[in-house]
């Protein structure tokens, strides 16, 4: 198949429990890919095939599936909703052309759906909205539409209206064609009939249709003029306008239904084909300069006739070996081709290519622009690497991943486990860029770093089950940092004379606090050659190396500016090494004088609670040294937004559930580093020193 206009690469994303996986499952049933519908309740869905996913009823990694609808090929990616796995959503959005945002009919726009919506806006992905679970108690389609306007600041274009509420929900009215789709009680998605609109809904449908037509014709001046003069546009013209507006993110066609009860999914599939863009209708990916990371002005035009360019967006290890998921932007790829990885400069030969069917696969001999495929057995490829034609080297815009904020120390229970653990963790780090590992050189412990408690919990679980490594897990640790508060001007001389050539380096320097988030900056204003130019990099390196171990408790130091303004050298004894040692000594000498201070990670916390528990939740956040920023009352409860130190948030979900009788939810993401209060800092420094003493 080579007609790109018949391709749709789409993702399904939403808050936890809004019904993404169930919606994916129904799409597969309707497109004839599966015959028995699976369920998240009993862990039998197609895309949640990891043991941990089936057990917990949540999605952990994004899974890709391909299917056909109305002669169009849909590549669907089901993404996780939990905030700890946002990286999966982010990397999926990067390679998709369109998406379906699923919202729960009773929960509405929840914290995580906001985060995902923001990511999708940043990635400029066209979306449809599907309001799901309209058969549930308290579900209200019109309220969710209002929330999309007010909370997300988006323009929903209402395309279908629900017939009946809660348990009486039987079908939907298609506003565009004025037809009612009513499903019978068999619960099968294909058993519906097209009927007249119920009499009590006729006025509503007309009002929404008028709004729909007015919004759509704004996309075409000629149609708008004709409409103003009283000419009703044809359905074809309206669809063309809706397609254009959806692609330009002017509005988001909004549908409703119940995935679990199989109602309303067909109209969403039709809309994917009618309104979401094909790969060649999306703005092409910019190419960047590998040295500077800046855009070169060229783009990866989506066409099979261009040189081959693709992005590796996910790496997965399973029973068949290492799989590299690749989105091909331009050109063709055949089995046996040799391609270049522009990040490593190495070439690889393509052995097997497969089309993914969640956990199954179909062998391919060739693929082309617009395809999302997996390649088996590639070496040295990491998430975000560009694969390209050997003769046409290029780099696609890379992915940026959030830095981990929480770490735990782990040691294998038995001695033989450490080698096994090393291999397993290596594979897991390649799969998930937001999961990092380092070894504490002094204690020999392995430190796992991740995005949250659930994230690390699942990693430990995978190590145990998939790789058979039993671990002893330490307490979660917070990634503290250090900085300084006062400027210092100082001088340091390093000299050593012991037979043969000596070492000499003298530096005069100023150290001062940098702006928040600026990291380490080094400048040299030496004139007259007192410190020759060739030694400046050595001085910079000396300071930079020391930044990893702060003077208070050995945490990395942030936001410091060092200026070298004078010094002295010896014609024979001075060397780069001497100046590097001088800089290291200078750091140890001057940093304690510069008012060092401990910084702690502060998290944006977004808590949802029923109204009668608001006082308890706010009181508890205040006890955790939280700053409450905002409160918004919704229909089903109140959302409280605030900034809270990460160290106070361990085990919070348990406390929140106890306080709110299990109805509270929260999400958090890293905000910034802020100074630690003195009493907390003293405690952390004392603990750290005790640890170091034990070493």
- Residue 458 in tokens: 């699942």
For residue 54, name the pLDDT band (cuts at 50, 70, 90).
very low
CA-nearest of 75, 78, 67 to 13 is 78
- pTM, whole model, 2 decimals? 0.64
4-281, what's its fold? Rossmann fold (3.40.50)
Helix and strand totals (H; E) in the chain: 16, 36
10 Å Cβ neighbour count for 95? 25
pLDDT of residue 44: 43
CA 158 – CA 178 distance, rounded (Å): 13
3-state secondary structure of 345: coil
Cα–Cα distance for residue pair 662/444, rounded to 1 Å = 40
CATH architecture of 482-594: 2-Layer Sandwich (3.30)
Cβ-contact 524, 536 below 8 angstroms: yes
Q: What is the mean pLDDT of residues 143-151?
A: 86
Instruction: Give the pLDDT band of residue 88 (cuts 50, 70, 90).
Output: low
Tell me the per-residue pLDDT of 168-178, one tens digit each, with 9 for 90 and over. Answer: 888 888 888 88
Q: Is the pLDDT of residue 498 over 80?
A: no
The closest of 393, 321, 312 to 352, measured between CA atoms, is: 321
Give the residue-averaged pLDDT of 34-50.
44
As a whole number, mean pLDDT of residues 329-340 equals 86
3-state helix, strand, coil in the chain (%, to 5): 30, 35, 35
CATH top class, domain 285-389: mainly beta
Per residue in 226-241, pLDDT (tens digit) is 888 888 888 888 888 9
CB-count exposure of residue 650 (10 Å: 0-12, 13-18, 19+): middle
DSSP letters of 382-418? Answer: -TT-EEEETTS---BPPP--PPP-EEEEEEESSTTHH
The whole-number pLDDT of residue 629 equals 92
Instruction: State the pairing for strand pair 156-158/160-163.
Output: unpaired
Question: H or E stretch including 273?
Answer: helix 265-275
Q: Provide the pLDDT for residue 440.
A: 67
User: Mean pLDDT, to the nearest integer, of 309-313?
Assistant: 84
CA distance 163 to 267: 14
Looking at residue 543, its pLDDT comes to: 93
More confident residue, 191 or 630: 630
Would the pLDDT of 36 be above 50? no
Distance CA 263, CA 26 (A): 10
Topology match between the domains 406-479 and 482-594: no
Domain assignments of the chain as residue spans, ordered by start? 4-281, 285-389, 406-479, 482-594, 598-680
For the domain 406-479, what is the CATH code? 3.30.70.870
How far, in Å, CA of 455 to CA of 476, rounded? Answer: 12
Q: Write out pLDDT tens, residues 237-285.
A: 888 899 899 888 888 999 988 877 778 788 888 888 888 888 878 777 7
Region of residue 234 (phi > 0: left; psi between -120 and 50: alpha; otherwise: beta): beta
**What integer pLDDT is reported at residue 37 of this predicted model?**
44
What Rg, from alpha-carbon coordinates, does the chain have?
A: 29
| Domain 598-680 listed as CATH 3.30.70.240 | yes
């Amino acid at each position: 198949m080579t007609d790109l206009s018949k391709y749709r690469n789409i993702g399904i994303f939403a808050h936890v429990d809004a019904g993404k996986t169930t919606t994916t499952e129904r799409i597969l049933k309707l497109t004839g890919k599966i015959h028995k519908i699976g369920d998240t309740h009993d862990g039998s869905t197609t895309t949640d095939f990891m043991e941990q996913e089936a057990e917990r009823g949540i999605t952990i990694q994004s899974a890709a599936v391909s299917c056909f609808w109305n002669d169009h090929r849909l590549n669907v990616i089901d993404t996780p909703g939990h905030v700890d796995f946002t990286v999966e959503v982010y990397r999926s959005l990067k390679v998709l052309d369109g998406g379906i945002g699923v919202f729960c009919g009773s929960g509405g726009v929840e914290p995580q759906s906001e985060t995902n919506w923001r990511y999708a806006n940043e990635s400029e992905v066209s979306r449809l909205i599907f309001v799901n679970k309209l058969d549930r108690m308290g579900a209200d389609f019109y309220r969710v539409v209002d929330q999309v306007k007010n909370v997300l600041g988006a323009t929903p274009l209402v395309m279908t209206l629900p017939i009946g509420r809660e348990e009486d929900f039987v079908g939907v009215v298609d506003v565009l064609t004025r037809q009612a789709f009513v499903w019978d009680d068999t619960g099968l998605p294909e058993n519906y009939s097209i009927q007249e609109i119920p009499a009590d809904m006729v006025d509503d449908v007309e009002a929404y249709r008028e709004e729909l037509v007015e919004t759509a014709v704004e996309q075409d001046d000629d149609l708008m003029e004709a409409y103003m003069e009283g000419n009703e546009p044809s359905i074809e013209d309206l669809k063309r306008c809706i397609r254009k507006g959806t692609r330009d993110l002017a509005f988001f066609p909004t549908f409703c239904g119940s995935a679990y009860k199989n109602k309303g999914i067909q109209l969403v599939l039709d809309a994917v084909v009618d309104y979401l863009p094909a790969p060649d209708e999306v703005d092409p990916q910019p190419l960047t300069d590998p040295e500077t990371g800046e855009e070169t002005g060229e783009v990866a035009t989506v066409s099979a006739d261009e040189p081959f360019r693709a992005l590796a967006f996910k790496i997965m290890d399973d029973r068949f070996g290492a799989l590299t998921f690749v989105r091909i932007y331009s050109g063709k790829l055949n089995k046996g081709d040799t391609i270049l990885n522009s990040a490593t400069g190495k070439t690889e030969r393509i052995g097997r290519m497969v089309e993914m069917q969640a956990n199954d696969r179909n062998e391919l001999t060739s693929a082309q622009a617009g395809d999302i495929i997996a390649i088996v057995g590639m070496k040295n490829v990491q998430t975000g690497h560009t694969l390209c034609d050997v003769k046409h080297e290029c780099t696609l815009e890379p992915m940026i991943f959030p830095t981990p904020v929480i770490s735990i120390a782990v040691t294998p229970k038995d001695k033989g486990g450490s080698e096994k653990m090393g291999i397993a963790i290596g594979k897991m780090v390649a799969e998930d860029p937001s999961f990092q590992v380092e070894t504490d050189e002094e204690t020999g412990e392995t430190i796992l770093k991740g995005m949250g408690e659930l994230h690390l919990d699942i990693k430990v679980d995978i190590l145990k089950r998939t790789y058979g490594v039993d671990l002893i897990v330490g307490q979660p640790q917070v990634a503290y940092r250090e900085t300084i508060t006062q400027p210092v001007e100082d001088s340091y001389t390093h000299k050593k004379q012991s037979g043969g050539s000596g070492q000499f380096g003298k530096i005069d320097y100023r150290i001062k606090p940098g702006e928040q988030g600026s990291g380490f900056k080094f400048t040299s204003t030496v004139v007259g050659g007192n410190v020759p130019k060739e030694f400046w990099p050595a001085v910079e390196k000396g300071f930079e190396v020391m930044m990893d171990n702060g003077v208070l408790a050995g945490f990395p130091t942030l936001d410091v500016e060092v200026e070298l303004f004078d010094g002295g050298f010896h014609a024979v004894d001075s060397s780069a090494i001497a100046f590097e040692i001088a800089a290291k000594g200078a750091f140890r000498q001057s940093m304690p004088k510069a008012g060092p201070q401990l910084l702690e990670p502060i998290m944006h916390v977004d808590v949802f609670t029923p109204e009668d528990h608001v006082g308890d939740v706010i009181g508890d956040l205040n006890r955790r040294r939280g700053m409450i920023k905002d409160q918004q009352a919704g229909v089903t409860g109140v959302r409280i937004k605030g900034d809270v130190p990460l160290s106070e948030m361990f085990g919070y979900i348990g406390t929140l559930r106890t306080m709110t009788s299990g109805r509270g939810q929260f999400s958090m993401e890293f905000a910034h580093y802020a100074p630690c209060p003195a009493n907390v800092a003293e405690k952390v420094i004392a603990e750290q020193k005790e640890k170091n003493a034990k070493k």
